[in-house]
Amino acid sequence: MRTIDNPAQLKLDLFTPQLVAQSDNIPEVRYLHPQPVSSRNLKLADKLEKLAATMQKTIDSKLHPAIGQQNITARRSRIAAGMRQEGEHLALIQRLLEGLAQSHRTGTCPPQFAKIDNRKQLADLATLCRWHEEDSKYLQDSFTYGYSIVERLVQFGIRSKDEAIVAVELLGKLCYGNPAPEIDSSVEKANELRRRAIYTKVPDFFPTPPEIIDRMLQLARIEPAHRVLEPSAGAGDICLALRKLGPLRIDCFEVNNDLREALTLLGFEPSGRDFLTVTPQPIYDRILMNPPFSKDAYIEHVRAAYDWLAPSGELVAVLPNGYRDSRITKRREFADCLDSLGANNYANPADAFTKSDRSCGVSTHLILIKR
């Protein structure tokens, strides 16, 4: 076989006859890549489809690993990220199986792939697809330095980088009707920033537990015409829940750079860093907040947030228990201020924040203030 170094020329020659001398010196016509198999193989098609279907449970468990829902640490975050990558690789193998099955049903299977009957045989081809898609140097290096994968690729007639590229393109055509599930890279990046903020213990970042967010939304009674503010948005847990209700506008502030980036990736453009440094504008129909608790910061945050409420606006906040009975004057004055504003109090489950992604033992309650 003659050597072709130009991939573009290789594509032109894909079905160009090549003369190959036989032992009796009578040339025969051979194609660089043989024509597709014209006969259908329905039995093999059924087998490949069943194999693809049995992979779904494993793929789901890898793409959405249970460890990613546990209290987050750096180690668990790395493990979860690795599992998701593995899930994406398995999903590619699944699509290849489905594509091969369809080609066997229509009699269009490329001959070099015709004998594949299990997913293990597709692992190396899936690796080639991934390397090619990522424009990775590993595709070239595998042939330059003789990686172990090269020996296994011979069974598919792949002996060079150029032939590997052609094989990847053929596989891509097989999977044309089975596109990869869309994975929002922005959301994944935002989730990674959220996990990093948790295991690096960003000060005062304790994500609001879902059950408390649900209670906040029930109290807030969000309407489509409402303009809503989250003054210390963290990684956007409350903002995301608000978005599902479709208010007119959601604004937020966040001081931490990583969390601000996470909010931006999720589609929330922070109005600023620290809302305490901005002159209040009474424009918000609803304010939902889980303010910082350390050094009694929640007191100043709630007082400032109240000034952002529009007439008839309402504020719902998560607050720590105990300030009413405290010996600290600042705390007692805050309790008196809430009473003067007619704030209503709603107890939260005592262990609510122990179930948070970043667990803590603080007991809390909700307040609802109407302007």
Task: Give the CATH number for residue 337.
Answer: 3.40.50.150
Q: Is residue 226 domain-shared with residue 81, that is, in the same domain? A: no
For the chain, the average pLDDT equals: 84
* Amino acid making up residue 65: P
Q: For residue 37, with 0-12 CB atoms within 10 Å meaning exposed, 13-18 middle and 19 or more buried, which class applies?
A: middle
Q: Is residue 139 domain-shared with residue 68, that is, in the same domain? A: yes
On whether residue 307 sits in a domain, the answer given is: yes
Q: Is residue 162 domain-shared with residue 69, that is, in the same domain? A: yes
Q: Is residue 95 domain-shared with residue 39, that is, in the same domain? A: yes
Average pLDDT over residues 260-280: 94
On whether residue 10 sits in a domain, the answer given is: no
Average pLDDT over residues 165-169: 87
The domain boundary residue, chosen from 174, 205, 231: 174
Half-sphere exposure of 142 (CA within 13 A, CB side): 25
DSSP string, 102-146: HHHHHT---GGGTT--SGGGGHHHHHHHHHHHTT-HHHHHHHHTT
Distance CA 317, CA 323 (A): 14
Contact 162, 169 (CB under 8 A): no
The pLDDT score that the predictor gives to residue 306 is: 97
Q: Is residue 205 domain-shared with residue 170, that is, in the same domain? A: no
Q: Is the pLDDT of residue 211 over 80?
A: yes
Q: Is residue 157 domain-shared with residue 278, that is, in the same domain? A: no
Q: Is residue 51 domain-shared with residue 162, that is, in the same domain? A: yes
Two tokens at 218? 């029930």
- Of the chain, the end-to-end C-alpha distance in Å amounts to 84
> What does the pLDDT look like over 19-76, one tens digit per residue?
344 444 434 433 344 455 557 899 999 999 999 999 998 988 888 777 665 556 667 7
DSSP 8-state class, residue 37: P
On whether residue 120 sits in a domain, the answer given is: yes
The pLDDT score that the predictor gives to residue 141 is: 83
Q: How many domains does the chain have?
A: 2
Name which of 52-61, 88-97, 352-361 the model is least confident about. Answer: 352-361
Q: Which residue segment(s) compose the domain that 351 sits in? A: 195-370
Q: Is residue 63 domain-shared with residue 145, that is, in the same domain? A: yes
Q: Is residue 150 domain-shared with residue 222, that is, in the same domain? A: no
Q: Is residue 165 domain-shared with residue 209, that is, in the same domain? A: no
Q: Is the pLDDT of residue 202 over 60?
A: yes
Q: Is the pLDDT of residue 115 over 90?
A: no
The pLDDT score that the predictor gives to residue 13 is: 42
Average pLDDT over residues 86-105: 88
Q: Is residue 264 very low, low, confident or very high in pLDDT (cuts 50, 70, 90)?
A: very high
Q: Is the pLDDT of residue 224 over 60?
A: yes
Alpha helices per DSSP H over the chain: 7-12, 42-54, 56-63, 74-106, 123-133, 137-144, 148-153, 161-174, 185-199, 210-220, 237-243, 257-265, 297-306, 329-340
On whether residue 55 sits in a domain, the answer given is: yes
On whether residue 355 sits in a domain, the answer given is: yes
Q: Is residue 321 domain-shared with residue 240, that is, in the same domain? A: yes
Q: Is residue 41 domain-shared with residue 108, that is, in the same domain? A: yes
Distance CA 291, CA 298 (A): 5
Q: Is the pLDDT of residue 14 over 50?
A: no
Name which of 64-73, 95-104, 125-134 the model is least confident about. Answer: 64-73
Q: Print burial letters for 166-199: b (CB count within 10 Å at least 16), e (below 16).
A: bbbebbeebbeebeeeeeeeeeeebbbbbbbbbb
Q: Is the pLDDT of residue 267 over 70?
A: yes
The domain boundary residue, chosen from 174, 208, 239: 174
The domain boundary residue, chosen from 140, 174, 208: 174
> pTM of the predicted model, to two decimals?
0.59
Average pLDDT over residues 109-116: 87
On whether residue 73 sits in a domain, the answer given is: yes
Between these two residues, 175 and 352, which has the higher pLDDT value? 352
On whether residue 125 sits in a domain, the answer given is: yes
Q: Is residue 227 very low, low, confident or very high in pLDDT (cuts 50, 70, 90)?
A: very high
Name the percent of the chain lying above pLDDT 90.
46
The pLDDT score that the predictor gives to residue 183 is: 52
Contacts of residues 71-78 at CB distance under 8 Å and 24 or more positions apart, as own/partner, are 71/357, 71/358, 71/359, 72/195, 72/198, 72/199, 72/357, 72/358, 73/199, 74/199, 74/200, 76/199, 77/192, 77/195, 77/196, 77/199
Residue whose C-alpha is closest to residue 114's, from 51, 168, 14, 39: 39
On whether residue 13 sits in a domain, the answer given is: no
Average pLDDT over residues 80-99: 86
Two tokens at 85? 């990558």
Between these two residues, 3 and 220, which has the higher pLDDT value? 220
Contact 309, 279 (CB under 8 A): no
Average pLDDT over residues 210-227: 96
The pLDDT score that the predictor gives to residue 166 is: 87
DSSP 8-state class, residue 233: -
